[in-house]
Amino acid sequence: MKRIALHDAESSTNYSNLALLKLSAYHKAKGNSVEMYVPLFSEQYDTIYSSKVFTFKNGEKPIGNVEYGGTGYNLFVTLPEEIEHICPDYSIHPFNYSLGFLTRGCPNTCKWCVVPKKEGSIREHADVDEFLRHKNVVLMDNNVLASNHGIYQIEKLGKLGVKVDFNQGLDARLIDDNIARRLAKLKWLSPIRLACDTDGQMKYILKAVRLLRWHNARPARYFVYCLMNGTAEETLERIQFLKGLYLEPFVQPFISFDGKDTRTKEQRLFARWVNHTAVFNSVAWDDYKKHEYSKQGLLSQEYLQKNCKISSNSF
């Protein structure tokens, strides 16, 4: 019997590491012991599996006989098929939902996205029965609506009656009346997630939201990812548009694939303003920026008194 250790390089995230859950299930089925990595026992493990999803999050690497995987380490390291298609070990998963992919890849080639390079175009991956063991399921597909298999699985999920969360967002450009009807039949674990990464996507968001609401998809206040790849002023029009539709925007400043944090001070500040719902719904961007810059000594008090009518109680 081998002693296996699992190392999650991003243990602070709100999701379990899916690859580690599958590795745990595989090795337990082989009769091996599996535990979370403890540095004190590094030399006692036969194999340590370290997985890192994000390139921009730092974490200490384990010591010993380590196998590394995940986008944060290497784009092209994948699990063997016999492990990829095993049901995850939910006994070490502290959440009340199942987790998995129905499809992999994406047909789009967005320059800011690592998926086409890592996984290629859209393809069928699994039936939900492969990993569904709860009444709730979080699906991590990058563009499930671009796949006939994905749409079939959506219909199946509606019949099963489980609550669903497509946590990477749905492509609004692919939501027509037919798709909106299918999505409206689902029970949602979290708000319906869409994406509006460019100004050109706003018209598709408008159409998708109208159709979803027409077919009574609930909840009706949807969550929208917004890539920020420029200045606040270049992103603000999308944010104003989404707020006008009673949608909940979430700004994500672009971080390069090499993991270098290239976010400007303004981008960080703008994202903090949008993503703090209470502040976003009560304070205008210009006022928020002036208030924050004044705390950092970047604006004179004379300028603030003349141009900034904001109370610190708003924060």
Cis peptide before 219 (omega within 30 of 0): yes
- Return the minimum-mean-pLDDT range out of 122-136, 151-165, 170-184, 220-234: 220-234
Tens digit of each residue's pLDDT (9 = 90 or more) over 229-256:
999 999 999 999 999 999 999 999 988 7
Angular region, 33: left φ>0, alpha ψ -120 to 50, beta rest? beta
Closest C-alpha to 252, from 168, 315, 172: 168
The yes-or-no verdict on residue 297 having pLDDT over 70 is no
Q: Can you tell me the mean pLDDT for 104-122? A: 90
Instruction: Kindly report the number of other CB atoms within 10 A of residue 274's CB atom.
Output: 25
Q: Give pLDDT, residue 293.
A: 84
- Residue 171's pLDDT band, with cuts at 50, 70 and 90, is very high
Residue 180, CA atoms < 13 Å, CB-side half-sphere:
20
Q: Give pLDDT, residue 129.
A: 98
Of residues 227 and 256, more confidence is placed in 227
pTM of the predicted model, to two decimals? 0.88
The yes-or-no verdict on residue 76 having pLDDT over 60 is yes
Q: Give pLDDT, residue 302.
A: 46
Domain ranges for the chain = 1-95, 96-281
| CA 199 from centroid of its chain's CA atoms | 21
Tens digit of each residue's pLDDT (9 = 90 or more) over 132-170:
999 999 999 999 999 999 999 999 999 999 999 999 999
Q: Give pLDDT, residue 310.
A: 43
Domain 96-281 CATH class label: alpha beta
Of residues 277 and 110, more confidence is placed in 277
SS3 63: coil
Q: Give pLDDT, residue 312.
A: 41
